[in-house]
Structure 1
């Protein structure tokens, strides 16, 4: 674990770290305070990890490696894509909006999955943005570099805390303030604060519109909702629990996560648990396959499995064909598209209240 910094070195560092120390549950008040910093490139900037250890930047990084397509997409949206020299879990061609796709395809792919330790340390990066693990990088995420190895290679290591630190959060996550904090953090680190403010404002506009339409819907009038993580395996389903971003997305959209009583980010459950919940709607959570055609095929497979499996074909949502085809990443990993997913779910579940754009 990195040792804690003894000095902050300026107001910018103090304000930003105050925001990010709340990590997975910070509210809009802290977010608004961070946005009040003057200057798009004010340094030094300090950010914290899941255990509040600090990393300080005295200038913008020049050579960034991202762990997956989600952190890459955020940098592209912030206008810092020209600093990215490599990524793991690359986005498939055409899976990002047209304006970003061409840029994304020019980024060097260091691995189709987790970047191997030696390749990451030898990449020449001065910053690695990690979406996945909290601190110990366990759980099948590969043989990750230690803090000492990152330092020896001259690479600073920071996290998308709303995803990476979810399991350590306090209480249910019911809004996207932690995602907004991640965007503010990346904007401060890369000198793109103004762009970060614009992204957050656009997200809030979408979510606020949905909340005005469905926010006062009584709990018993909210349809129940199950996120079916098809890629996590079908033998034993993995539930999205109340500290995961997806729980906030589902809640903001005017639905009830059937596993809202599960305290954590993810948990393996049994199909008998899903049957007991008997959800009104099921999201077919499929991870990006690299093309629209491949994604459609995966959605088809997930739906077919639910319709033909003896344990699930009698579920209310299955019998009525109430499926949502929304990619896993836009629901469970920090990004601008979390707000889009809130909007999509709300329009599907509450068409009388949330109209088409």
Structure 2
């Protein structure tokens, strides 16, 4: 019989959460995009979407509980380390999964997010999976798409997801060990400066740049490294802005996305030839850092990204 999840009233959910935490055993209650989810037992057959969420599961050594991944090979080039961690776990869909893809693995749990494998009103959502007794934990960064009153993104956004997943699967000590190590690394790497460098993230886009706003994980990574996202006043997660708005903010450093084709060289060349961007400080002085998708979406690779960015800011910021 598969473990059940249920949605409880907030007072009862909070009480159960305290009891579960004290006993360090199930039932356990976690919050997911404002929903209180209680698990009577550890999920036995999990599906996880996207490379960053897969890496969270792998970092917690939960591969024995995973029966499928989705959204990996259709978009990304994986590393030997990722492939070794994945082992023989099958990929159910190379991009966004259909309901049929999910059901084919007979899962009891899905770890995904809004616009990370799920879309509001789409075929795969917590509501569409509930009739099949499939509990869904939503990536916290993505909850802004459902609730505009969510708190600003921070490193706690990542840590909260890691703690929640660890609690669901009965391994809270693994989460605390991971997070303690990550916090120590970030503290050691952080660039201290009276005036943080202005940083812009360029993902893609010619007519308008696709970038990270106030609620997207890169804002937290940039702040953790000692910089400031020039788009941290834009009330969005990931989205498009105008080139003129970027130019007015005159970024002093630019992160470009490396999707595994040319190490971000094409994006840098585009910025160097752009009539607006060629005039900003970062482009004029050649201040760029290429990061991979898994490094700028919530996951364990964020910590290495902060270390790289802090070192780059220190080198260019004096």
Q: TM-score range by the shorter chain?
A: 0.7 to 0.9
| Pairwise CA distance, 1:261 | 1.6
Which one is further off, 271-280 or 259-268? 259-268
Q: Per residue, is there more strand in 1 or in 2?
A: 2
In structure 1, the residue corresponding to 2:187 is in which secondary structure? helix
Aligned pair partner of 2:111 in 104, 121, 129: 129
For normalisation by structure 1, the TM-score amounts to 0.77
- Alpha-carbon distance in structure 2 between the residues aligned to 1:10 and 1:349: 42
Q: Is 1:276 matched up with 2:258?
A: no
Q: Is 1:49 matched up with 2:14?
A: no
- Alpha-carbon distance in structure 1 between the residues aligned to 2:221 and 2:215: 11
Q: Structure 2: which 5+ residue stretches go unaligned?
A: none
Match of 2:272? 307
Aligned pair partner of 2:213 in 222, 236, 241: 241
Deviation per CA, 1:200-235: give whole Å up to 9, x if none. 111111122234x51xx22xx3211100012xx222
For normalisation by structure 2, the TM-score amounts to 0.86
| Pairwise CA distance, 1:164 | 1.5
- Alpha-carbon distance in structure 2 between the residues aligned to 1:46 and 1:8: 10
Say if 1:79 and 1:192, in contact at 8 Å, map to a contact too.
Answer: no
Aligned pair partner of 1:113 in 85, 91, 95: 95
Deviation per CA, 1:74-107: give whole Å up to 9, x if none. 11110111211111122656526x3x43131522
Q: 1:123 to 1:305 in 2, by over 3 A?
A: same
Match of 1:28? none
In structure 2, the residue corresponding to 1:90 is in which secondary structure? coil
- Alpha-carbon distance in structure 2 between the residues aligned to 1:352 and 1:274: 20
Match of 2:57? 75
Q: 1:3 to 1:137 in 2, by over 3 A?
A: farther
Match of 1:226? 200
Q: Is 1:95 matched up with 2:79?
A: yes
- Alpha-carbon distance in structure 2 between the residues aligned to 1:279 and 1:58: 49
Deviation per CA, 1:133-171: give whole Å up to 9, x if none. 499823xxx93235453122221111121x221453545
| Pairwise CA distance, 1:38 | 5.0
- Alpha-carbon distance in structure 1 between the residues aligned to 2:104 and 2:220: 38
Q: 1:265 to 1:280 in 2, by over 3 A?
A: same
Match of 2:295? 330
**Correspondences of 1:77-226 after superposition (within 5 Å):** 77-90=59-72, 94-95=78-79, 98=81, 100-133=82-115, 137-138=119-120, 143-161=122-140, 163-167=141-145, 168-170=148-150, 172-173=152-153, 175-211=154-190, 213-214=191-192, 217-218=193-194, 221-226=195-200
- Alpha-carbon distance in structure 1 between the residues aligned to 2:245 and 2:263: 24
| Pairwise CA distance, 1:3 | 8.0
In structure 1, the residue corresponding to 2:42 is in which secondary structure? coil
Match of 1:347? 311
Say if 1:166 and 1:244, in contact at 8 Å, map to a contact too.
Answer: no
Q: 1:119 to 1:94 in 2, by over 3 A?
A: closer
Match of 2:47? 65
- Alpha-carbon distance in structure 1 between the residues aligned to 2:125 and 2:294: 27
Q: 1:3 to 1:64 in 2, by over 3 A?
A: closer
Say if 2:287 and 2:316, in contact at 8 Å, map to a contact too.
Answer: no
In structure 1, the residue corresponding to 2:96 is in which secondary structure? coil
Q: Structure 1: which 5+ residue stretches go unaligned?
A: 17-33, 288-294
- Alpha-carbon distance in structure 2 between the residues aligned to 1:137 and 1:327: 23
